[in-house]
Structure 1
């Protein structure tokens, strides 16, 4: 009989500086090791990550190591899903941490709720400082906890767009729900794979519950990741694929579980996502920029769905001339700078020291 309750899937690629702490965090739990497994998927790392994985696999019976050629995080997660035996699946990036002693809380929550998906929360490690952990600026409202409705949730999440982040590792998922609905990640996508995969989940009628439980400590390297937030042509192509795919699916299908208002919200989410990525076109190298502009023009109609007034005004005035993207890039870069400064300021005000060093 399979007694494994949780499978924690950890895709790994060149994260030797963080990996030991990541694995240790999965072991600092208050349920017995036979109730959960840790699946380390080494995605062709070229640093010392594989050696670290092998060491822990030898020492702990609930750690499984899968060593494969580099094919990206989506394929690594899919391999983990196929190998998993737990009733519920969790995802954890190779540089993040699982909250200490969180599995018992999750066990109690899913025993009460018996759901396909349990939507949870996470906390942020600011600029790689483990003593500087910021709480999220929101909690799930009581009405969603008492009586979850997918339409209410998606509209609420959209209204909280400055705070709600579309990460797969912030939730837990029934393995049978994933397998029965063939919910695997698009293997060719290297950017936006979480956004794409969660869209697939929302389209399926499922038993979803929420809990104000933080399960992950996310390393947010604000300055490094956002000040130098450039987009390659391949990344832009991935975003183009996602937006084009979901607009086509939404326009060609009727979803029993989604209201017309929610469909409109999903289109706004896609439009805002496409605009935010397109804002980086003029930071690309010239040959890539030319190709990216061709793809932008194929999907420029989606921008009319945005609720961001500055982008909508530019859209109406400039009619998608290249000047539109130049000004869009200027607005986006400056708005991100303001947001980054605010995040750093908030982190100093709201930082909390971990009860135990990790």
Structure 2
């Protein structure tokens, strides 16, 4: 009854739905950060009119799922990358050059320019006379600057460099969104090492090294954010998507497993054996996996009216990487201390969102759409002739 897929592939209706989910998840993170930076995640008070309270309550409810959107992104990435890797490894078709050239070009062709552009916007923002009022009203930005003033051990510095956990991520380069993208490369390496260790035991060294980095990151986390623990925890969530792709089970077995998992999460949280944030993230990941399975089993096609949202997935990766510094810069230069709940502020928030979308699209045109060419050059440099990409849609996070 339990078996692995025999070949790489997915139901013909799934790619459109997955693209829709990827695009909407990225837009949700953009909306969440826009509201967070402009309104401090606050709601109108008793002094505001009823219609204003209603409008902003709806917007707050819509924008309050940024973390859940990132978890959806992790599950989808595990499904599209980790799952095919498991199947290819089982069939003896997992090639290190193909795998890592795709992953490295996909990530760092976008992330390195994103860090450079983020630094530029950060420097421009700090030169504004509105920078200090803005930072003073955003305590998490003020706390992030502690990385410069507090003593950092060599171990913490190593982890910051390897995981991009620097002021670049904390203050101006996308916090959770860019942090999740930078983590992913290590997840790609770890899943490759895990599925390859049977044939090449030398990969055990890579597994131990990456797990050791998780431990060092946790011990060096002086601010109590459980950075290292979350690295490992999100990898487990990433693997949920990989297993949903690679494992073949009857629908009733999947449903039973889902119900048992959700019940276990609830019991562990009720007994205080699982933190609230972990229970929430696991629940979102389980429901995302269930949605993927439901669409696969029902063969339901994406309505044509939603094709426009599906197309956002082409540049959703750039949207994750570049939107936050744009929002910070716009808040400093235009909004600063203006956080009143009015129609004008609502229009300003919409303007920020549109600017973030436009900037991400331009970023995609400049960098992300060239990843296939970069991948081919990487493979050429290491001495292998480029071949036609196989199932590239299944590999693109």
TM-score by length of 2: 0.27
Task: Report which structure shows greater RCO (CA 8 Å, sep ≥6).
Answer: 2
TM-score (normalised: structure 1)? 0.29
**Larger Rg, first or second structure (1 or 2):** 2
